[in-house]
Amino acid sequence: MKSVWSDFERSLSFNSLEGDFKTNTLIIGGGIAGILCSHFLRSAGIDCAVVESNRIFSGVTENTTAKISIQHGLIFQRVLHSFGEEKAKLFLKAHQKALTEYEKLFEKISCDYEKKDSFVYSLTDRRKIEKEIEALDRLGLKADFLEEVDLPLKIKGAVRIKNQGQFHPLKFAMGISEDLLIFENTKVLELKKNKAVTNRGEIFFENLIVATHFPIFNKHGLYPLKMFQHRSYVVALEAKKNVNGIYVDEDEKGLSFRNYKDFLILGGGAHRTGKSGGGWRELEAFAEKNFPEAEISYRWAAQDCMTLDGVSYIGQYSKNTPNVYVTTGFNKWGFTSAMVSALLLSDLISGKESPFSSIFSPSRTMLRPQLAVNTFESLLGLLTPTVPRCPHLGCALKYNKEEHSWDCSCHGSRFSEEGKLLDSPSTADLKKKPKK
Ligand X SMILES: Cc1cc2nc3c(=O)[nH]c(=O)nc-3n(C[C@H](O)[C@H](O)[C@H](O)COP(=O)(O)OP(=O)(O)OC[C@H]3O[C@@H](n4cnc5c(N)ncnc54)[C@H](O)[C@@H]3O)c2cc1C
* Contacts to ligand X by CB under 6 A: 28-34, 51-54, 58-61, 64-67, 187-188, 211-213, 216, 232, 234, 267, 302-304, 330, 332-335, 338, 424, 427
In the complex, what is the shortest distance from the CB of residue 288 to ligand X, in angstroms, rounded to a whole number? 21
- Identify which of residues 297 and 375 has a Cβ nearer to ligand X in the complex: 297
User: For residues 29 and 392, what is the distance between their CA atoms, to the nearest angstrom?
Assistant: 18
For the four alpha carbons of 35, 41, 42 and 44, in that order, the dihedral sign comes to: positive
Which residues touch 68 (CB under 8 Å, ≥6 apart)? 99, 102, 164, 165, 166, 167, 335, 336
- Identify which of residues 89 and 332 has a Cβ nearer to ligand X in the complex: 332
- Identify which of residues 52 and 132 has a Cβ nearer to ligand X in the complex: 52
In the complex, what is the shortest distance from the CB of residue 61 to ligand X, in angstroms, rounded to a whole number? 3
In the complex, what is the shortest distance from the CB of residue 68 to ligand X, in angstroms, rounded to a whole number? 6
In the complex, what is the shortest distance from the CB of residue 312 to ligand X, in angstroms, rounded to a whole number? 9
- Identify which of residues 134 and 150 has a Cβ nearer to ligand X in the complex: 150
Within 13 Å and on the Cβ side, how many CA atoms surround 297?
Answer: 17
In the complex, what is the shortest distance from the CB of residue 132 to ligand X, in angstroms, rounded to a whole number? 18
User: For residues 19 and 198, what is the distance between their CA atoms, to the nearest angstrom?
Assistant: 10
Taking alpha carbons only, the member of 405, 411, 353, 404 closest to residue 377 is: 411
For the four alpha carbons of 225, 218, 231 and 417, in that order, the dihedral sign comes to: negative
CB 230 within 8 A of CB 273: yes
In the complex, what is the shortest distance from the CB of residue 239 to ligand X, in angstroms, rounded to a whole number? 18
| Burial 108-138, CB ≥16 within 10 A → b, else e | ebebbbeebbbbbbbeeeeebbbbbbebbee
- Identify which of residues 396 and 412 has a Cβ nearer to ligand X in the complex: 412
| Burial 145-157, CB ≥16 within 10 A → b, else e | ebeebebebebbb
- Identify which of residues 302 and 308 has a Cβ nearer to ligand X in the complex: 302
In the complex, what is the shortest distance from the CB of residue 332 to ligand X, in angstroms, rounded to a whole number? 5
In the complex, what is the shortest distance from the CB of residue 338 to ligand X, in angstroms, rounded to a whole number? 6
In the complex, what is the shortest distance from the CB of residue 372 to ligand X, in angstroms, rounded to a whole number? 24
- Identify which of residues 232 and 400 has a Cβ nearer to ligand X in the complex: 232
- Identify which of residues 27 and 395 has a Cβ nearer to ligand X in the complex: 27
In the complex, what is the shortest distance from the CB of residue 96 to ligand X, in angstroms, rounded to a whole number? 14
- Identify which of residues 273 and 396 has a Cβ nearer to ligand X in the complex: 273
User: For residues 209 and 248, what is the distance between their CA atoms, to the nearest angstrom?
Assistant: 31
CB atoms inside a 10 Å sphere around CB 20: 12
In the complex, what is the shortest distance from the CB of residue 433 to ligand X, in angstroms, rounded to a whole number? 23
Taking alpha carbons only, the member of 238, 240, 235 closest to residue 301 is: 235
Which residues touch 25 (CB under 8 Å, ≥6 apart)? 41, 46, 47, 48, 49, 205, 206, 207, 208, 209, 349
φ and ψ at 270, to 5 degrees? -75, 155
3-state DSSP helix/strand/coil % of the chain, to nearest 5: 30, 30, 45
* Distance from the Cα of residue 289 to its chain's centroid: 30
CB 150 within 8 A of CB 244: yes
User: For residues 221 and 316, what is the distance between their CA atoms, to the nearest angstrom?
Assistant: 9
- Identify which of residues 199 and 363 has a Cβ nearer to ligand X in the complex: 199
- Identify which of residues 291 and 335 has a Cβ nearer to ligand X in the complex: 335
* Distance from the Cα of residue 403 to its chain's centroid: 20
